[in-house]
Amino acid sequence: MNNGLFITIAITIATIIGSFGALFLKLGSSRLNIQFNFKGLMSIIMNYRLILGVFFYGLSSVFFLLALRVGELSVVYPFTSMSYIFVTILSVWLLKERINRWKLIGIAFIILGVVLVRI
């Protein structure tokens, strides 16, 4: 497998897993019980959505590091802005959030910006 293909696949997997991480953090966050006592602590520890979110973030950084071993940071990093697309798709599809043209144009600007900052 050539390097370009390997980097593309590794980063695509990393961003998809990372997007699910963000999704699960969101799902877990709405079930938190903010109290400074035992019950509040347990609501954090036993919150499997939150734990899954952190786990997915960790897993995505493993794939990210795999890509970084082959490619340079300036090449690898702009690819991670795919996560903005995946998170938007996931939040419209699974969280039933609404999207409008301002948000879509905004995401396009951010992706362009991330690519330019890391050039």
Partner 1 sequence: MSNNISNLISSIIITTITITKMKKKTKKSNKDSGHTSIKAIVLVVLSTLFTSFGQILMKYGTKNMGSFNEIITNVPLISGFIIYGIAAVFLVMSLREGHLSVLYPFIALSFIWVTIASIVLFNDYVSILNWLGITSILVGVSLIGYGAQHE
Which amino acid would we find at residue 45? I
Smallest distance from the beta carbon of 9 to partner 1, in angstroms? 23
The residue from 10, 15, 26, 63 that contacts partner 1 (CB under 8 A) is 26
CA 19, CA 25: separation in Å to the nearest integer? 10
Which structure tokens are listed for 10? 């590794």
Q: With contact defined as beta carbons under 8 Å apart, do 32 and 51 qualify?
A: no
Report if residue 107 touches partner 1, rule: CB under 8 A: yes
Window 34-73: contact mask with partner 1 (x via CB under 8 A):
----------------x---x-------------------
In total, the chain counts a number of residues equal to 119
Q: Which residue has the tokens 């690819």?
A: 79
Report if residue 117 touches partner 1, rule: CB under 8 A: yes
**In what helix (H) or strand (E) does residue 60 lie, and over which residues does it extend?**
helix 48-70
Q: With contact defined as beta carbons under 8 Å apart, do 21 and 53 qualify?
A: yes
Smallest distance from the beta carbon of 62 to partner 1, in angstroms? 16
Report if residue 13 touches partner 1, rule: CB under 8 A: no
Stretch that binds partner 1, among 7-15, 35-43, 62-70, 102-110 (CB under 8 A): 102-110
Helix, strand, coil shares, percent, the chain, to 5: 80, 0, 20
Interface contacts to partner 1, rule CB under 8 A: 22-23, 25-26, 28-30, 32, 50, 54, 81, 83-84, 87-88, 90-92, 95, 97-103, 105-119
